[in-house]
A and B are shown apart, each in its own frame.
Chain A
Amino acid sequence: MNSIDVVIKGAKLPNGTVSDICIQGEHVVDVVKDYSGPATHVVEATGCVVLPGLVDLHTHLREPGREDAETVLSGSQAGAKGGFTALSAMANTSPVADTAGVVEQVYRLGQEAGYLDVFPIGAVTQGLRGEALSEIGAMADSVARVRVFSDDGHCVSDPLVMRRALEYIKKFDGVVAQHAQDPRMTVDSQMNEGIVSARLGLKGWPAVAEEAIIARDVLLTDHVNSRLHICHLTTAGGVEIIRWAKARGIDVTAEVTPHHLLLTDDLAGSYDPVYKVNPPLRTEHDVHALREALADGTIDIVATDHAPHPLEAKECEWQEAAFGMLGLETALSIVQKTMIDSGMMSWEQVAERMSLTPARIGRYADQGQQLAKGAFANLVVINPTKSWRVDRDLVLSNSSNTPYHGHELPGVVEHTFFKGKQTVINGEVISKGAK
């Protein structure tokens, strides 16, 4: 019998069966009940759950332009720590990822870092200005093979521009990931519009500003027979629209962030901008609707919207502060807390929502594969019975704007494998030089 590189022993697969996973080179070479042959490394994983490597469809890596907040390398390390083997780098960098040059640079930085795949997302419009289409074809045909296009941070608010984008991307099997926010209804908006904003005197951000764009765009998508992805859905009303659109057969997918599955708008009462995020935290009612929609598949995926910001962008008055919170290192724990520990979802569904489906939406062929013989060895081993305390001073991200500082969260990522290579060993990310 030939020796293999790694055997992961005793972990529970997403479908609940306990198996040993054999890895040779970049691939899974066998999944068997009891592997008794020789292996260079044995990873003891009894009591753990093994999932296909997580795929994030919505990450802000800030490079190029704001390397003080995050780099492709630091973001990759944070991602690996969180169990991810693929990230999708949003286009709102400086310069904007609206040309083949920028997306190829980001893609190459990801390969050089080597912790996971970094798939650049291309801007829909030049400079995210919402006026003229960016070089969608050049980005699609570049080495970065961009399939997801988004002006995230800004809404493609002009209906004609949105229509043209939806039509044009069909040539490349692309998808428009829409940041649904009517700009006129949200000028200077600070937080969800409702009882809490009325009390705090912070300018409201109505749910309808999100829902009106979602409704318009599913209709446009239907009309031009294209593919639409809705970024960070936050409202119960938005869930209803997606449910309606899917029933009608419209090719739309939707994502929810971990923070919108857990946190609510009353946290703004502290005026601590660590809770300031776009789209804003909504109400308890919305949180429950989002959890149900994620469980029943109306919402297809969880995406982090990991948004690092330097200290000074958050150590200030609420209305001066930047929008966004960290997400990569805590995403899986938040999903376990809200969806698994509440009994609403199985690990198999987590694998779908956080790996298989996002990879399918992004057309990331080597990612999101079932854990079976012949698959790329992208996987994460989680101990769901352990818990850990979030400490903003210990995060791997270059920034520290996590809203969970001090929270005790369930589920520890013990090991992450990216194409057969271990990037996290016993909860520790391997250092850059060690590879």
Chain B
Amino acid sequence: MRHLLSIEDLSKSDAVSILDTAHELARVSDGAVKKLPTLRGRTIVNLFAEDSTRTRISFEAAAKRLSADVINFSAKGSSVSKGESLKDTAMTLQAMGADAVVIRHSASGAAQRLADSQWMSGSVVNAGDGTHEHPSQALLDAFTIRKHLRAGAHDLEGLTVAIVGDVLHSRVARSNVLLLSKLGAKVILVAPPTLLPVGVESWPATVSYDFDSVIPFVDVVMMLRVQQERMSDLYFPNAREYSRYFGLNADRMKSMKQGSIVMHPGPMNRGLEISAEVADSARSVITEQVTNGVSVRMAILYVLLTGSALEAGSN
């Protein structure tokens, strides 16, 4: 594996091996060892052309625990925001000797453009591209689900996961639908019809407009963030009505199955898609998702950057 661009081109066995590696790395981090020499001397660039503090610091922590040198190249104050082309940025990173570029970008396909171009030779990790995919988020979500509900197993066979909210604009939803179904889980998308893409019928998931009818049967409820700007774009009448049909509040949580969990990729709109009681409840694994994010991203960097000299043909 040279790049991580999408869940679509990740095989089930590659996905399981990343989760297994993350599992061992989490055990290392749990213990006394906080830093591993694994990627000493390697340079990892966080190229964040779109604001996302949590994803960036998660990748940064992962890289640093593996002793890589981390360079943060973020939109604010960098040339990316001054209209420099992706090509020029990539060639700059190449000139700096980046072994891997972790890219967050508002354009769908930006990570793939970077990987397919001849502009740079390092590994590319997609840390979220437009409304396309966010593979590391899906991997950390699958890791969290497996840890809670399928400890000791390889995959998620037999579980049912509801993904609730703005599926249309969500890269987290796209990656999770592909990964969770690949790992054997049944996925139900719950959203207003306006926030589901045309073509969703081709996805490995079923669709429901009725949250209440779905909630008693699922093992995992994964809430998606509703962007403020959707309010003004005719997707639903107003926040109150959205909350009434698709928000997860304490009342709805009561009908959840024994042992089921609540997830959210963050940042949350408390009171809109999720109520404070739910977010802070015992079912919520939201802060744990953040912790697991670091282990999963360590695993991704480990898998991509070991043997990289082999793939680059310099051996």
Query: Are these two chains actual partners, yes or no?
Result: yes
Contacts of B105 in A (CB 8 A): 317
Q: Is the CB of B174 within 8 A of A194?
A: no
Give B46-89 as 1s and 0s: 1 = Cβ < 8 Å from A's Cβ atoms.
00000000000000000000000000000000000000011100
Q: Is the CB of B86 within 8 A of A317?
A: yes
Q: Which of A244-273 contact B (CB under 8 A)?
A: 270-272
Contacts of A203 in B (CB 8 A): 131
In the complex, whether A201 has a CB less than 8 A from a CB of chain B is: yes
Q: Is the CB of B198 within 8 A of A198?
A: yes
Q: In the assembled complex, how far is the CB of residue A212 from the closest CB belonging to chain B, in whole angstroms?
A: 16
In Å, the complex CA distance between A190 and B130 comes to 12
In Å, the complex CA distance between A272 and B118 comes to 13
In the complex, whether B109 has a CB less than 8 A from a CB of chain A is: yes
Give A333-364 as 1s and 0s: 1 = Cβ < 8 Å from B's Cβ atoms.
00000000000000000000000000000000
Q: In the assembled complex, how far is the CB of residue A97 from the closest CB belonging to chain B, in whole angstroms?
A: 29
Residue of A nearest to B119 (CB): A315
In Å, the complex CA distance between A190 and B112 comes to 17
Q: Is the CB of A316 within 8 A of B87?
A: yes
Q: In the assembled complex, how far is the CB of residue B137 from the closest CB belonging to chain A, in whole angstroms?
A: 14
Residue of B nearest to A194 (CB): B199
Contacts of B267 in A (CB 8 A): none
Q: Is the CB of B110 within 8 A of A317?
A: yes
In Å, the complex CA distance between A271 and B87 comes to 14
Please tell me which one of the listed residues B85, B133, B203 contacts residue A201 in the complex, with CB atoms under 8 A apart.
B133
Q: Is the CB of A271 within 8 A of B199?
A: no
In the complex, whether A318 has a CB less than 8 A from a CB of chain B is: yes
In Å, the complex CA distance between A320 and B85 comes to 10
Q: In the assembled complex, how far is the CB of residue B222 from the closest CB belonging to chain A, in whole angstroms?
A: 18
Q: Is the CB of B197 within 8 A of A271?
A: no
In Å, the complex CA distance between A59 and B108 comes to 30
Q: Is the CB of B116 within 8 A of A270?
A: yes
Q: Is the CB of B130 within 8 A of A319?
A: yes
Contacts of B213 in A (CB 8 A): none
Query: Of residues B86, B107, B202, which shows the largest number of chain A Cβ atoms within 10 Å of its Cβ?
Result: B107
Residue of A nearest to B114 (CB): A317
Residue of B nearest to A198 (CB): B199
Interface residues on A, range: 20 to 34
Contacts of A190 in B (CB 8 A): 108
Given A199-B8, A200-B132, residue A318 in contact with residue B198 (CB < 8 A):
no
Q: Is the CB of A198 within 8 A of B109?
A: no
In Å, the complex CA distance between A206 and B199 comes to 11
Contacts of B132 in A (CB 8 A): 200-202
Query: Of residues A196, A203, A312, which shows the largest number of chain B Cβ atoms within 10 Å of its Cβ?
Result: A203
In Å, the complex CA distance between A32 and B129 comes to 64
In Å, the complex CA distance between A202 and B132 comes to 7
In the complex, whether B151 has a CB less than 8 A from a CB of chain A is: no
Q: Is the CB of A201 within 8 A of B87?
A: no
Given A200-B132, A201-B130, A312-B85, residue A319 in contact with residue B199 (CB < 8 A):
no
In the complex, whether A143 has a CB less than 8 A from a CB of chain B is: no
How many positions in chain B have a CB within 8 Å of any CB in the partner chain? 25
In Å, the complex CA distance between A312 and B105 comes to 19
Please tell me which one of the listed residues A200, A202, A315 contacts residue B85 in the complex, with CB atoms under 8 A apart.
A315
Q: Which of B103-158 contact A (CB under 8 A)?
A: 105, 107-110, 112-113, 116, 129-133
Q: In the assembled complex, how far is the CB of residue B104 from the closest CB belonging to chain A, in whole angstroms?
A: 13
In the complex, whether A105 has a CB less than 8 A from a CB of chain B is: no
Q: Which of A277-324 contact B (CB under 8 A)?
A: 312, 315-320
In the complex, whether A414 has a CB less than 8 A from a CB of chain B is: no
Q: Is the CB of B108 within 8 A of A206?
A: no
Please tell me which one of the listed residues A198, A200, A270 contacts residue B200 in the complex, with CB atoms under 8 A apart.
A198
Q: Is the CB of A202 within 8 A of B109?
A: yes
Please tell me which one of the listed residues A202, A315, A319 contacts residue B87 in the complex, with CB atoms under 8 A apart.
A315
Contacts of A201 in B (CB 8 A): 108-109, 129-133, 171, 174
In the complex, whether A193 has a CB less than 8 A from a CB of chain B is: yes
Q: In the assembled complex, how far is the CB of residue B210 from the closest CB belonging to chain A, in whole angstroms?
A: 21
Q: In the assembled complex, how far is the CB of residue B55 from the closest CB belonging to chain A, in whole angstroms?
A: 17
In the complex, whether A219 has a CB less than 8 A from a CB of chain B is: no
Residue of A nearest to B174 (CB): A201
Q: Is the CB of A271 within 8 A of B112?
A: yes
Q: Is the CB of B110 within 8 A of A195?
A: no
In the complex, whether A52 has a CB less than 8 A from a CB of chain B is: no
Given A201-B130, A317-B110, A318-B113, residue A194 in contact with residue B86 (CB < 8 A):
no
Q: Is the CB of A195 within 8 A of B109?
A: no
Give B88-109 as 1s and 0s: 1 = Cβ < 8 Å from A's Cβ atoms.
0000000000000000010111
Seen from chain B, the residues whose Cβ lies within 8 Å of a Cβ on chain A are 8, 85-87, 105, 107-110, 112-113, 116, 129-133, 171, 174, 197-200, 202-203
Seen from chain A, the residues whose Cβ lies within 8 Å of a Cβ on chain B are 190, 193-204, 206, 270-272, 312, 315-320
Known: A200-B109, A316-B85. 17 other contacts (CB 8 A): A195-B199, A197-B199, A198-B198, A198-B203, A199-B174, A199-B203, A201-B131, A201-B171, A202-B130, A206-B198, A271-B116, A312-B85, A317-B107, A317-B109, A318-B107, A318-B108, A318-B113
Q: What would be 15 A-B contacts, judged by CB atoms less than 8 Å apart?
A: A190-B108, A193-B199, A194-B198, A196-B199, A199-B199, A199-B203, A202-B109, A203-B131, A204-B198, A270-B116, A271-B113, A272-B116, A316-B87, A317-B86, A320-B107
